[in-house]
Amino acid sequence: MGILSRFADIISANINDLLDKAEDPAKMVDQCLRDMMEDLAEVKKETAAVMAEESRCKRLVDENDKESARFEELAKRALMAGNENDARVLLAKKQEIENAGAALETAYAAAHENAVRMRQLHDKLVADISELNNRKAAIKAKVSVAKAQEKVNELSNSGEKAKLAMSAFERMEAKADQMLDEATARAELELGADDSIDALEEKYRLGDSSASVDAELAAMKAKLGL
């Protein structure tokens, strides 16, 4: 029977192990439930068949026991009636029935064992499905929170990168301001030097012109006898 060949795997399956190995527990829990419901449907069908077989074997054993007891009673009556040969034939039939009963007992024992295992499998699947259904909402909520936390972490990392970029930008801006200030200072110094030279040149140029006028004035006075 196919389902019984998988009995050990299903009966020993651990939901926690499955979820621990899952990359996405929220999806895994839904898939687990679908698989387990399919298994449960098959288990119910097979369990019913196995239990029916168990009942059939038990009925055959009971009927065989009754038949054996009937021939034993007939053999007693034959002896009481003084018919030893008839009693011998009846006891031989009884032994034949009992021999067949041994095979029926073996078949019933196997059917009973299968039925017990199937009922265990059925009960475990029902319990696992109930547990998983009860935990499904909590599992999905935890996954949702975890994903949200990942987003927060990503945004936090982006914020740190932006902060570093802004810090670098501020350093570059300060350096540019310093360069501008230095250039402005140099320009002012150079402009101041040019102004001084021009002023001195103008001073003495005007001074020379005034001396020439004074000399000419003195000559004119002398000529006029003033």
Condensed to tens digits (0 to 9), the pLDDT of residues 82-141 reads 999 999 999 999 999 999 999 999 999 999 998 898 888 888 888 888 888 887 777 777
Question: Does 224 score more than 90 pLDDT?
Answer: no
**Domain extents in the chain:** 2-163
Q: Which amino acid is at 51?
A: M
Condensed to tens digits (0 to 9), the pLDDT of residues 181-211 reads 777 777 666 665 555 666 656 665 654 555 6
Q: How many residues does the chain have?
A: 226
SS3 label, residue 198: helix
Instruction: Work out the pLDDT band at 1, boundaries 50, 70, 90.
Output: very low
State residue 118's pLDDT score. 87
CA atoms of 50 and 30, how far apart (whole Å): 30
Helix 25-80 / helix 84-224 crossing angle, nearest 10 deg: 180
Using left for φ > 0, alpha for ψ between -120 and 50, and beta otherwise, residue 82 falls in: left
CA atoms of 42 and 49, how far apart (whole Å): 11
Question: Does 3 score more than 60 pLDDT?
Answer: no
Q: pTM of the entire structure?
A: 0.48
CA atoms of 147 and 41, how far apart (whole Å): 34
Which helix (H) or strand (E) segment holds residue 74: the answer is helix 25-80
CATH number (1.10.1060, 3.30.43, 3.90.550, 1.10.287) of 2-163 reads 1.10.287
Q: Are 29 and 19 in contact (CB under 8 A)?
A: yes
Instruction: Work out the pLDDT band at 147, boundaries 50, 70, 90.
Output: low
Question: Does 18 score more than 80 pLDDT?
Answer: no
CA atoms of 22 and 29, how far apart (whole Å): 9
Tokens found for residue 109: 């024992």
CA atoms of 90 and 75, how far apart (whole Å): 5
**To the nearest whole percent, how much of the chain has pLDDT over 70?**
65
Of residues 35 and 99, more confidence is placed in: 99
Query: Residue 66, Cα to own-chain centre: how many angstroms?
Result: 61
**What are the CA-CA distances from residue 148 to residues 59, 104, 141, 160 (Å)?**
62, 64, 11, 18
Tokens found for residue 173: 């801006």
Sign of the dihedral through C-alpha 16, 21, 27, 30: negative
